[in-house]
Amino acid sequence: MQEIRYTEDEIKSLDWREHIRLRPGMYIGKLGDGSSPDDGIYVLLKEVLDNSIDEFAMGFGRQIDVAINESGVTVRDYGRGIPLGKVVDVVSKINTGAKYDSKAFKKSVGLNGVGTKAVNALSEYFKVTAIREGQAKWAEFQFGNLQKESKVEPSKEENGTIIHFKPDNGMFRHFRWVHEYIEQQLWNYAYLNAGLKIHFNGRVFQSKNGLLDLLEKKTNAEKIRYPIIHLRGEDVEIAMTHGDHYGEQYYSFVNGQNTTQGGTHLNAFREALVKVVRDHFKKQFDAKDIRESIIAAVAVRVEEPVFESQTKTRLGSERIAPDGPAIRGWMSDFLSRELDNFLHKNPEVAKELLKRIQQSERERKEIADVKKLANERAKKANIHNKKLRDCRYHLNEKATEELRLASTIFITEGDSASGSLTKARNVNSQAVFSLRGKPLNCYGMTKKVVYQNEEFNLLQHALNIEDSLDDLRYNRVVIATDADVDGMHIRLLLLTFFLQFFPDLVRNGHLYILDTPLFRVRDKQQTFYCYSEAEKQAAIKKLRGKPEITRFKGLGEISPNEFGGFIGEDIRLEPVFLPEDTNLDHVLDYYMGKNTPERQEFIIENLRFEIDVVEETNEAAAVEEAVGVAGE
């Protein structure tokens, strides 16, 4: 065994820029290519925007301009502007900033002085400009290295800060911006900062009523059980109602940060809600029945917040301030006072809330025996050997946040496809679940079918979502089906399953479609994998002589060695998302309900014929367009 040296020569000191570029996961989570809402490029954008939002929260500047194009990202606020003598330091010296003094930024999002430094270090070009009281100064960087800086110059522009950056394409390989993710991010800022106006590529994002506007956007007025309850207090805002969907749907925020994984404030809300409802109706309802089908937005402001990761997706603080009350008691006091008063003053709302809870109670009892039998069947099926080829991530007690974000399960159909995926996958972070035949069209059915249907039951157990999405075992759930009509049909049925029973899995950005090449074009020297007819024709022109062309109709036709390249670093995933104005009930009813003349006409009008294969733009493609599948 070769001796591993450990001498003074092995001890290295990295400067701030080198450390960020060597360990980017510590600062922005995963890198990614932009196909996921938590990919690094969106974190970079957020870090810049957070500073502008903090200026607005402090009462300076009511507008933020955002532009994203081929040249990069530009964010311009109209706050006070960075003090001109510290323009370079603020974006290039770690642990430098104004937010360590909570008097200046009492309830800011970022307190560690890292944000814009990480953006700077991970950008191939970065420029900061500060305008302050008729004077301005700018500085330019490449990969965090200062290239040029100006002297303090006169300026006629309004006060504020302008940040322009272009993410490092070598670090964020083949990245692309999914504008739907950006727009969602900007809407959240608007909802949480009533009166703020954000301009983005020609659109305006603005909210007058805060979380009430958010919930009105997120719900179908015809499907909610009672008008949205909107409560506001010092450092807390809550909007809530109940619907007819399955599960609990939350939008949680801390100091303007979208805490997608919740944390102590959301846990406190869920507990306090149960207590208030029980006390109000003087009955010990099951907590699950009270929270079933709830839709709620919860925003709090915490002094010196502690998050469980640099990406700030989960609040860890136990207190509202270092010397303040515990968040649990504080939230309980607020709801006990405000929500209970509201229900007393609005008896019709209280009546509808009670009816929804009683309905959930009946439904839970009706499926209790079915659920118990389903759990026993899942255990007997030995799912982790016969249906699921799991990854090692779950066995790693020291798994990093980066590995958690990379954890992926491919849902596929047939032995050949699952065999190729299983042999080609990264066993540390990628799992494979094999379906048997086409899934059931579950539209319009109750959740009872999930437990009665063998494939659905085993799938939800593999994902570990039978009780709560909080226990989801994989960050990315990927539908991987053949590139033919049958494969599209299976994809459609799986989309229906998730949208019908687990829509939050989609809302929270966990569902994807695997994009694999349709053609292989090669000669003796070169091989091209093509994802469209246009790419195939372009590849043919690049080769000399008559090329060999293979059409991959099924995933099983792709060898494991080739498959490894398609699900490795260059994996192409198309995220499934729910746009702001999606009427999910209408989408599912139109495409998955009883066959209507309108749908028949749609299918006929959208048939298209291509050179090598006749492809039907069937319901699957239409549902993806209506729901939202981000393509190139």
Question: Which is more confident, 527 or 444?
Answer: 527
Question: pLDDT by residue (tens digit) across 11-46?
Answer: 555 677 888 888 888 888 888 888 888 889 999 999
Confidence of residue 524 (pLDDT cuts 50, 70, 90): confident
Q: What is the DSSP string of 570-616?
A: T-EEEEB---TT--HHHHHHHHHSS--HHHHHHHHHTEEE-SS-EEE
pTM for this prediction: 0.75
If one looks up domain 381-516+552-575 in CATH, what number appears?
Answer: 3.40.50.670
Q: Where in the chain is the domain with CATH 3.30.230.10?
A: 211-357
Which residues, 6 or more positions from 255, have their beta carbon under 8 angstroms from its beta carbon?
107, 108, 109, 300, 301, 302, 305
Q: Quote the mean pLDDT of the chain.
A: 85
- What does the pLDDT average to over 192-217? 93
Q: Which residue type occupies 598? A: E
pLDDT on residue 616: 40
How far is residue 564's CA from residue 568's CA, in Å, rounded to a whole number? 6
Q: What is the pLDDT of residues 299-313, one digit of tens each?
A: 999 888 887 765 677
Phi then psi dihedrals of residue 254, to 5 deg: -135, 120
- As a whole number, mean pLDDT of residues 105-117 equals 60
Let me know if 65 is exposed, middle or buried by CB neighbors in 10 A (0-12, 13-18, 19+): middle
Residues recorded for the chain? 632
Strands (E), 222-336: 229-233, 236-242, 249-254, 257-258, 294-300
Band of residue 84 on the pLDDT scale cut at 50, 70, 90: very high
> What gap in Å lies between CA 561 and CA 6, rounded to an integer?
38
CATH 3.40.50.670 positions along the chain are 381-516+552-575
The confidence band for 125, taking pLDDT boundaries of 50, 70 and 90, is very high
Inter-residue long-range contacts of 565-568, CB under 8 Å, 24+ positions, other chains counted:
565/529, 566/424, 566/516, 566/517, 566/529, 567/410, 567/421, 567/424, 567/425, 567/426, 567/430, 567/514, 568/426
Quote the CA–CA distance of 151 and 138 in Å, as a whole number: 8
When pLDDT is cut at 50, 70 and 90, the band that residue 612 belongs to is very low
Q: What are phi and psi of 199, to 5 degrees?
A: -100, 130
What's the rounded Cα separation, in Å, for the pair 470 and 505?
Answer: 10
pLDDT at 383: 67
The pLDDT of residue 415 is: 82
Beta-strand pair 257-258/388-389: unpaired
Residue-level pLDDT at 72: 94
Question: CA–CA separation, 38 vs 563, rounded Å?
Answer: 25
Mean pLDDT value across residues 54-68 = 92
Tokens of 276: 């208030």
* DSSP character string of 358-425: HHHHHHHHHHHHHHHHHHHHHHHTTHHHHTEE--GGGG-TT--HHHHHH-EEEEEESHHHHHHHHHHS
Retrieve residue 547's tokens: 């090329």
pLDDT on residue 583 = 66
pLDDT score of 203:
93
The pLDDT-based confidence of 48 (bands split at 50, 70, 90) is very high
CA dihedral 509, 428, 122, 262 (to 10 degrees): 40
Let me know: does 78 contact 61? Beta carbons within 8 Å: yes
Taking alpha carbons only, the member of 571, 455, 465 closest to residue 508 is 465
Contact 290, 336 (CB under 8 A): no
Pair of tokens at residue 377:
């069947």
CATH of domain 211-357: 3.30.230.10
Residue 597 pLDDT: 75
Give the distance, in angstroms, between the CA of residue 203 and the centroid of all CA atoms in the same chain.
22
Comma-separated ranges of CATH 3.30.565.10 domains in the chain: 16-206
Residue 251 CA to residue 294 CA, distance in Å, equals 11
Q: Please give the share of the chain, as a percent, with pLDDT higher than 70.
A: 88
| Between 537 and 399, the higher pLDDT residue | 537
Q: 16-206 belongs to which homologous superfamily?
A: Histidine kinase-like ATPase, C-terminal domain (3.30.565.10)
In single-letter form, the type of residue at position 542 comes to: K
pLDDT digits (tens, 9 = 90+) for 389-411: 888 887 776 777 778 888 999 99
